[in-house]
Amino acid sequence: MVKTINSHGLGLAFNAENIPVCVVISTESVESHGQMLMTASHASVFGSNLHIQCGETLLALTNIDLAVQEAFGKRLPLLVMDRATGYEQLIPTERVY
């Protein structure tokens, strides 16, 4: 099953030298599908869309920012965060052209 998400919040996390180290998404930034992110296994970028595999469901985030696309092009991981529980998980990513 594919769930398309047009409203989302992705950001970049930087180290002390101001170099991006990962892309961050919080569960509350993905409309009503945030809890599905807790089961994410991997993510792929297709053009300006991010596909996150969550069990049998594919979350398709549309129109991701160019800076985020470039970060995934550098093979940076996706960090899923749930602020309510403190849960964090790094998800491997790939860029598909």
Residue 34: the pLDDT is 81
Per the rule left: phi > 0, alpha: psi between -120 and 50, beta: everything else, 84 is alpha
Alpha-carbon distance of 11 to 76, in angstroms, equals: 12
User: Rounded mean pLDDT of 26-50?
Assistant: 88
pTM tops 0.75, yes or no:
yes
- 31 has pLDDT over 80: no
Residue 30: the pLDDT is 84
Residue 97: the pLDDT is 58
Evaluate whether 27 touches 80 at the Cβ level (below 8 Å): yes
Write the pLDDT tens digit of every residue in 49-81. Answer: 999 999 999 999 999 999 999 999 898 999 999
